[in-house]
Amino acid sequence: MNNKQAFRSVWALALALVMLLSLMSCGKKPEPDTSKPTLPGDVSSNVSSDVSGDTTGDADDTTTDMSGDTTTEGDAVSDDTTISSKKEETTKSTSGKITKPTTKPTTKQDGPIVSRTTTSKTTTATTATKTTVDSDKSIFGDIPDSLSGQKVKVLVWWDVGDFDKGHAAKFNEETGITVSFETIANEKYQTRLSAMIMGNNAPTCAAMISDWYPQPITRGLLQPIKNTGWDFTEEIYATSLMDQFAYKGEQYGIALKGSNMTTFTVVFFNKDLLRQFGVAKDPYQLWKEGNWNWDTCLAVAKQCTNQAKGMYGISVCWQYYWMLSAGQDFVFSTKDGLVNNTMSTEVANAWSHAWRMIHEYKVVDNSFTDKAPFYAGTSAMLAIGSYMMQAEPEGYIPQAMKADWGVVPFPSPKGMDTVAGCEGTVWGFPSRVTGDNLQAGAWFLRYWLDDSKNTDASFYAKNECWEIMSWMWNQKIQSFNSIGILSYGGEYNSSSVQHQITGESTSLSMLKSNLDSWYSVVEANIEKIETELS
């Protein structure tokens, strides 16, 4: 082997090690690609809008009925039409209640690199309130007897535990409607669903995450929820989230307030460290008095930062949290179609703040190890998904954090209403599901996702966790729907954006040109999407 070949071998091994380490951090989320960014080239779509798929054998998919028996499905299909290398880990909750995919798309290629001077906007929190829901009795009393005997199949990507199986069994006992859960590995989910629809074996309802938007719609996997004949404007439905998983005002998924199956962004904090640094009011106290915002978060982070000792005020898993907390996204879904919001002043403000937190104020541990500094006591706060509040799974905050900790919603800019940023989960009704089965599925979701049954005292580690989740459901919600649009051409994703706007090689003066380039990428992908949907 000559020197050049040896160098290439060592370089390939190093890259593989970096990729492995990145997959282990931040709730198993791959970190942004640190390779030299490239300008956008031919961003051709690798997404098919038809409902098709090739069948191959696979043993990862399971169906569970209410007897607790699990059977293996062997008809999974190839994943050649799914979103650009989207690998999402299924995280099992030992309480059997919620498991969220905890990764983002793997970066295939970095996006464009090429300042907008902004003034910070600012948020005032309000008192937390719990969502009021109907009782089991009133729900069961409204379900038509004619639906008895229907078989509802629910498609998910996680292992459904005893908690949810128990609710399905109760639903069957009260209504005569049988419910089964089928699990499909996350990276195969949409392609398997496509094959099931084509084989006239579609599930009655299927979980969808905002990351996938709009692919389930462009591929014809879902039908409009209006086909159920239901009025989904009831107070319990999270209509703002449902409006975001829509196209030209046509909704394709439902969500209920209080459900644990949407991941909000929250901030954990180390109470012991804050006391050591002399912080007068911790984030929870600031939130309760309506004074938790970007400015007070920065103030706490500054007070807890000592770079000489390797101490930082906060670790942030994904810098787009700042954009969502300002009620912004790169793309908005409106009744007129998809609107490119990349060049708005509000988006620029949010990314400018993220850059300043890292490079100007230097309060962010930007080592891309995320959870590790918080667990080690070298980072006073950690911004991450709300799934980390669960009481039992290993690796989550309650099990992994040795110091005394607290949690609050992610702050919004000072002077504006709080916005709860999230990676939303909605429930859609696959194409070709009709009649009584469609009705039975709608009734089961209305029962199952009701927060009075979806959460019990043992689910979260602390009472304030439930308090915060309930409060966030009653705020304005902003889901990160543009992930699927950024990756629609198969070349870029959210990691590409984060790297090029807030990475070590960037400057604040590059912000405007960066957003200019991303505007072009988003515009091209919107054009492809709208062509397919027309």
Task: Pick the more confident residue, 296 or 3.
Answer: 296
Q: For 254-276, how does the pLDDT look when each residue is reduced to its tens digit (9 = 90+)?
A: 999 888 889 999 999 999 999 99
- In the predicted model, is pLDDT for residue 374 greater than 60? yes
In 3D, which of 291, 282, 268, 241 has the Cα closest to residue 428?
241
- Picking from 13-27, 235-249, 488-502, which range would have the lowest pLDDT averaged per residue? 13-27
Please tell me the predicted confidence (pLDDT) of residue 71.
36
- pLDDT value at position 74? 34
* Mean pLDDT value of segment 62-89: 36
What's the rounded mean pLDDT across residues 118-131?
34
Q: pLDDT tens digits for 216-226?
A: 999 999 999 99
110/155: higher pLDDT: 155
- Please give the pLDDT value at position 398: 86
Q: DSSP letter string over 129-155?
A: -PPP---HHHHHHHS-GGGTT-EEEEE
Confidence check: pLDDT of 352 > 60: yes
Examine the pLDDT at 314 and tell me if it is beyond 70. yes
Most confident of 81-95, 252-266, 482-496: 252-266
Evaluate if residue 280 carries a pLDDT over 50.
yes
Number of residues in the chain: 534
CA distance 228 to 430: 12
- Pick 52 or 162 by higher pLDDT: 162
Are the beta carbons of 448 and 172 closer than 8 angstroms? no
The band of 327, judged by pLDDT with boundaries at 50, 70 and 90, is: very high
Q: Where are the beta strands (DSSP E) in 307-432?
A: 312-316, 331-334, 337-340, 379-385, 405-409, 419-423, 425-430
* Residue 14 pLDDT: 47
Q: What's the average model confidence in pLDDT over 405-426?
A: 95
Confidence of residue 348 (pLDDT cuts 50, 70, 90): very high
User: In percent, how much of the chain has pLDDT > 70?
Assistant: 72
The SS3 of residue 529 is: helix
CA distance 526 to 485: 7
pLDDT at res. 534: 79
Mean pLDDT of 14-28: 40
Mean pLDDT, to the nearest integer, of 106-113? 33
C-beta atoms surrounding 309 within 10 Å:
8
pLDDT digits (tens, 9 = 90+) for 47-68: 233 333 333 334 344 554 443 3
pLDDT at 4 over 80: no
Q: What is the pLDDT of residues 200-239, one digit of tens each?
A: 999 999 999 998 999 999 999 999 999 999 989 888 899 9
Q: Quick one: 402 exposed, middle or buried, by C-beta within 10 A (0-12, 13-18, 19+)?
A: exposed
Predicted pLDDT at 77: 32
Predicted confidence at residue 87, as pLDDT, reads 31
Q: What pLDDT does 498 receive?
A: 86
Alpha-carbon span 89 to 77, nearest angstrom: 19
Q: Is the pLDDT of residue 357 over 80?
A: yes
Tell me how far apart the alpha carbons of residues 325 and 383 are, in angstroms, rounded to a whole number. Answer: 12
pLDDT of residue 393: 73
Percent of the chain with pLDDT over 90: 56
**Tens of pLDDT, residues 490-521:** 778 778 888 889 988 889 999 989 999 999 99
Compute the average pLDDT of residues 80-93.
Answer: 32
Mean pLDDT of the chain: 78
pLDDT at 284: 98
pLDDT tens digits for range 420-469: 999 999 999 999 999 999 999 999 999 988 766 555 557 788 888 989 99
Question: In 3D, which of 244, 360, 384, 370 has the Cα closest to residue 302?
Answer: 360
Check whether 115 has a pLDDT greater than 70: no
pLDDT of residue 135: 43
Q: Once rounded to an integer, what is the mean pLDDT over residues 393-398?
A: 82
